[in-house]
């Protein structure tokens, strides 16, 4: 924990120095970039682990698909889209690593957006857009498999079981609700934090302005008594 805290503090100092930003004094004071770095450091291990596991499953699924169709691979849309998804899945982790270790921190993420305008970060933005593209193409692939590939390629020419379709659409709906809900909740929470920070800053400034005349008056009275 100590080494991680030191790493975050060091990264924050580097970012401030690169931007010419003066560090905030006092313990517990974090700039916007500090908070972005901390949030990114906390979420990265889980994000990387889950997506790394997804890549493994995609490779297995692709290998099984090629084995099942034998020499007929590449003859329809489902095969071509599967190959395209495999390539994109292999490129995506490389972009993620580049964005994590080399790109500047940015408040823009797909799940925790900022209401303000973020500084451009081409690698991270490309990583986010490619991730959303992969999700869209992945669901397209599943739908194509359920409604077209299964009936056309099954030996008995059977339809996809209704229960399988229902389960898929329930999971799809849950994903959409969870994703959009999390996006909105994080945006509202971030806006609330910014508002509270602004109020706190305004209150501190007001207290400083109010306190100045009192101090000055005390000094004047002391001088008069002398």
Instruction: Give CA 174 to chain center in angstroms.
Output: 19
Residue 140: which pLDDT band, with cuts at 50, 70 and 90? Answer: very high
**CB-CB neighbours of 187 under 10 Å:** 15
> If 0-12 CB within 10 Å is exposed, 13-18 middle and 19+ buried, where does residue 137 land?
middle
What's the mean pLDDT in 195-218? 56
Residue corresponding to tokens 């999700």: 135
Domain positions in the chain are 52-194
Q: Which pLDDT belongs to residue 21?
A: 45
Q: Where are the beta strands (DSSP E) in the chain?
A: none
91-128 pLDDT, tens digit each = 998 888 887 777 555 555 555 555 454 566 788 889 98
pLDDT of residue 24: 46
What φ, ψ does residue 103 adopt, rounded to 5°?
-80, 155
Q: Is the pLDDT confidence value at 10 over 50?
A: no
Determine contact, residues 30/24, Cβ cutoff 8 Å.
Answer: yes
């Amino acid at each position: 924990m100590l080494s991680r805290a030191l790493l975050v503090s060091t990264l924050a100092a580097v970012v401030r120095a690169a931007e010419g930003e003066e560090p905030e004094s006092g313990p517990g004071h974090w700039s916007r970039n500090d908070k972005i770095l901390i949030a990114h450091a906390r979420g990265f291990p889980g994000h990387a682990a889950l997506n790394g596991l997804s890549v493994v499953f995609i490779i297995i699924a692709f290998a099984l698909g090629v084995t099942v169709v034998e020499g007929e691979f590449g003859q329809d849309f489902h095969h071509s889209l599967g190959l395209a998804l495999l390539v994109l899945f292999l490129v995506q982790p490389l972009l993620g690593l580049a964005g994590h270790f080399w790109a500047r921190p940015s408040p823009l993420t797909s799940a925790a957006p900022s209401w303000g305008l973020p500084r451009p970060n081409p690698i991270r933005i490309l990583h986010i857009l490619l991730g959303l593209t992969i999700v869209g193409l992945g669901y397209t692939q599943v739908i194509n498999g359920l409604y077209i590939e299964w009936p056309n390629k099954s030996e008995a020419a059977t339809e996809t079981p209704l229960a399988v379709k229902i389960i898929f659409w329930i999971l799809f709906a849950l994903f959409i609700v969870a994703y959009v809900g999390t996006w909105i909740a994080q945006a509202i929470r971030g806006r609330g934090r910014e508002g509270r920070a602004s109020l706190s800053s305004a209150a501190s400034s007001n207290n400083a302005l109010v306190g100045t005349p009192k101090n000055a008056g005390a000094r004047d009275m002391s001088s008069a008594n002398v």
